[in-house]
Amino acid sequence: AVVMSVAGSVLTAGNTEAQAQTLASTLRGVICQALLPSRQGDAYHLASECLTMTPEFSALITAGNFAGLRTLLDQETLDPSSGTHSMNDELKRLIKQRKVSVDDARRASTDPLNFADVISPN
């Protein structure tokens, strides 16, 4: 959501294809962070999402295919060596460790449509 928002605002404001190519070639990654209150209310826990640029991400940005970024981010998350991880994976870990509430995690999700998968019993 953050990458799509940033890239979308750059590319939909009447900017050129050359600017999209510049963004895609200079961007190294995007990090989104959220601090969530602990269930006890005495601390905060960090959840983050990190998109590490790859040629595939660059191609999507160059093409203006922002809808494809989430799908690729989710695929890259499956490979620990990619350097990419999703907010929902971090939230799932914090929920399983009983560090944060489901409601707080839901509010912090960058992918609310797929958040239900985070709290499913699987």
Handedness of CA 67, 115, 110, 90 (dihedral sign): negative
Helices (H) and strands (E) in the chain, counts: 7, 2
pLDDT at 42 over 60: yes
pLDDT band at 74 (very low <50, low <70, confident <90, very high): very high
In this prediction, what percent of the chain has a pLDDT beyond 90?
A: 64
Q: All domains of the chain, ordered by start, with CATH?
A: 2-12+27-114 (3.40.50.300)
Residue 31 or 2, more confident: 31
